[in-house]
Structure formats: structure tokens, C-alpha cells
Chains A and B, each alone.
Chain A
Amino acid sequence: MSSDLPHNLPIQNVLSLLGEFDYSEVPKSDRYIHLRRFDDRTVITIPNRARVHRAVLRSALIQGGIPEKDFTERLKGAISVSGKESILAHVDILGFKSLLDEAKESELRFDELLNHYHKALRSAFSRIKSVTEVRHKYDWKRISHVRVYTDNLLFVSELRRQTGGESEFGRTIDEIAMYQLELAIEGFFTRGGVVIERAYCDEVTVFSPALMDAAGIEKRALFPRIILEDSARERLRRYLKWYNNPAFCHFNDMVVIDPDGTWFINYLYVLRWFNDDMMDMMERHGEKLPVSEGPYFPAAISELHQHRDHIKRRLAEFKDNPVVFRKYLWLACYHNWFCSTYFSEDGDAEISDVGITLTFESCFAAKSEVNHIN
């Protein structure tokens, strides 16, 4: 059985860490150390040697019913840690301050807004957290953490050197997109940025120079979108070089380029992805869609329509506030471009009377630029 426990550890470290799980030594012999909890009959037996082999350590954890994940988290406090090249995403919610201002109006309004926000954030966060936890559980040495503070989400995932970090990069982009979509269909639009930077993160510490510029990243995003900062964009360009055909490149649809040259996460693409998965599955099982719903999976269309309605409401709400209105106008353009590109047969999805059309292109289009540069 493979394990990510260290190959061996000094016995004193092991005893001290087991002590944190309430196991203390039972005096018995020189050759073996036995540990037990005060009110428990469970006994852990390990050989009394200067260093504890990984297999022996794992056996001690099983004997004591200690989850490996919990032990390894404590272990980080006992052994030296180091920063690793990671992908970091910093995301915040657009208009959160005005939401808090509104919450001050009355107790009733406070609770109403709190519940709406809480429901949306909890659902989006628990999804991204469970993915991160699973990843962390099977490879504890790799940094993979997610944090939420007020409306800020910080996501850190270490890039593997052997593979150039492509799979971690891709997964992070997907997870951020899912988080963004889940909040958007509840009416909370996000903005932020993705960077590649040296970082360290565990249950208690977040350490990276990228954090110093978190506010700058949000400002540069300008609109409700999660942009790829220079470091992330250059890394993605490197990955794009590996592909000849966009059909085989996952990033082709997940990252698009704004006419202003900004690369950002095409979070609505998660809906198309979901739609295709469900339609394929129904086809495999010979199921037919209700005729009235058209050629798309009803839940995907319904969420796309919810997205549309939230934007329409915001456009109406901020029609007299040009600074904020401009942000939602951009969002309406993005929504319309997405609908015409990925759900072109649904006549209702687009927002009418936007007055502007923006055309975004796939990041794969920038591949020629890469070749030119190189």
C-alpha cells in the first residue's frame, strides 16, 4: 500500500505527536514502546529505536485509530516545511461592501441577506473544499488548501515539477470556475486573479509574496471575472505549445481572451460541460428530452437563465451608477457571447438591448503568438 508518510521519523517526534492524540507511554520494556490513552484499552506497540520506519508509523496510526490526515497535519508543526511553486487564486465578491451596508438597515434585512449569502457561499465553498480535501488526503506533502474570509477566497495548490504542473493548473482553473458559477447563479458575481508563485499553506499558515498584491489583482480584474496574471498566462502559454489541436486542449474553452487582451476564466463553460455530460448519458440510456425543452439539458438552461436574470436585475438596479453599471454591462456582453457560442439554439438565453457586442477568443488562438515569440 502506498503512503505519503515520511520514510522515517525520530522516535521523539513520533512520541510527542502521538501525545497530541492523548497517547502516553506505558512503562514496560526497553525493546518496545507501548502507548495508551488513559481511559481506553487500545494499546499502540512500536519498536524502541532511534528512528521509526514509515511502515511502523502507519501501523501505529492504525492501532491507535488515528486518521493519517490528522497525524500529518500535526507533523507539519514538527518537521521543517518549505514553499513550493504553486498556483494561487484570489477571489472576492463584487459589491460585497454595499451588501453589508444594506444589511445594516434592519435586523430583518440583515438576516435575509445573511441567509442568502450563507446558502450560496456554503454550497460553493463546500464543493471546492471537498475536492481540495480529497486531493490533500491522498498526497499530504503537496500543498492544497482553500480558505474563506468574509467574501475572500484564497486557493493554493502546489504544481508538480515532473509534469510541469499542468494537471494542477487545469484542475484549479476548473474548480475556480465551478466556485464562480455556483455563486453567480445565486446572484453573487466574483472577480479576482490567478498567479503562479512560490507559496506555503497549511491549516494555520498561508505564506506567499503573491498575497501582498491581492488587492492589486482584484483591481486589475476590473470586471466581474477571474483573470490570469502575467505569471499564470505565461505558464498557460507553455502548456498550449504542447497541443496541436484545440479539440484535445482542455484550456481551449476554459480560458478566453477579452478584446482588451485580458485572459480570464470562462466560468459559464462549466454549464456547457455539464450539459454535454448529461446529454451523453441520456443518449447512452436511450432517454428522450421533453420536446418543449429544446436541444439542451433543462437544468443547464435553467441555470443559464438564472444567470441572465441576475444580470438584467443588476443592470436595472445600477442604471444610474455608471461605474457599477459598466461592470454589469461587461458581464452582459460576456453572457451573450457565451450563449451565442455555446448555447446558440436557445433563443431566450441572451440579454436583449445590451447595445454592445464583445467577441472573446479562445486562449488557443494565442498559440500562434507563442510560436511567433519563440
Chain B
Amino acid sequence: MSLNDEYDTNPLSDLDTVDLLFGDLIRVSRDGECFVAVDHLTHIAEVGSTEAEAVNNLRQAIREHINVVKNTLEQMRDFDRAFREDAGDH
């Protein structure tokens, strides 16, 4: 699995993959009563009442985000393919 490989459409299977890729890029800070976890690659941020909760929430958010990005790319490719086929027909 590679994030740069747009043709790999398999959804990320588990949070371990997120940890593997993003673990070093997550920074956690305290903001008043809560903890804020930010991923410096995707710039996604999440909050939690504890440091662990904030990081866990962020892992979930990153996983969802990547799935949506992959689906979006797939939709765009489908649209592009359909458009070219349609244009070829004419």
C-alpha cells in the first residue's frame, strides 16, 4: 500500500497502517481543558480529553480522510474515462 499510488484502490485495512505512515508526523499539544493532535502531513486535527484519545481520534480521522480522497480520485477517473469514451463515440 502506498499513499502515492493512486491506482491502489484497496481501502486501508486498519489503524496500524495509519500509525506506520503518520506516527512520526503527529504532534500533540494541550489547549486548555483538551488535547489537540495534528497530523503535519494531511493537516488534519482532532481533539480529545486525553492525549491518547486525541491521537486515537486523529488516527480515525486520517483513515476516513484517505478513504474519501481515494474515492474522490476514483470518481474523477471514472468521470474522465466516461467523458473520453463519450467524446470518442462522437
Interface residues of A (CB under 8 A from B): 7, 26, 28-29, 31-32, 34, 36, 41, 43, 45, 47, 53-56, 58-59, 62-63
Contacts and interface: CB of A to CB of B under 8 A. Distances in A.
Nearest to A53: B47
B43 A43 contact: no
Given A55-B31, A59-B38, A28 B64 contact: yes
Given A26-B72, A43-B68, A53 B36 contact: yes
B41 to A, nearest CB: 11
B72 A43 contact: yes
B73 interface: yes
B65 interface: yes
B70 to A, nearest CB: 10
Interface in B15-68: 31-32, 34, 36, 38, 42-47, 57, 60-61, 64-65, 68
A62 B42 CA distance: 9
A54 B42 CA distance: 17
Nearest to A34: B68
Size class of the B contact interface (CB-based, 8 Å): 20 to 34
A63 B60 CA distance: 17
A26 B64 CA distance: 12
A55 B65 contact: no
A58 B32 CA distance: 17
A29 B45 contact: no
B17 to A, nearest CB: 17
Contacts of A32: 60-61, 64-65
A63 B61 contact: no
A43 B69 contact: yes
A45 B73 CA distance: 16
B27 to A, nearest CB: 10
B72 A29 contact: no
Contacts of A45: 42, 44, 61, 64-65, 68
A55 B39 CA distance: 11
Contacts of B65: 32, 34, 43, 45
A26 B68 contact: yes
A41 B64 contact: no
B12 interface: no
A32 B62 CA distance: 10
Contacts of A26: 68, 72
A29 B68 CA distance: 10
B35 to A, nearest CB: 10
Contacts of B68: 26, 28, 34, 43, 45
Contacts of A43: 65, 68-69, 72
Contact of A31 (B47, B64, B73, B76): B64
A59 B76 contact: no
B72 A41 contact: yes
Given A45-B44, A59-B45, 19 more contacts: A7-B32, A29-B64, A32-B61, A32-B65, A36-B72, A41-B76, A43-B68, A45-B64, A45-B68, A53-B36, A53-B45, A54-B31, A55-B38, A55-B47, A56-B36, A56-B45, A59-B43, A59-B44, A63-B44
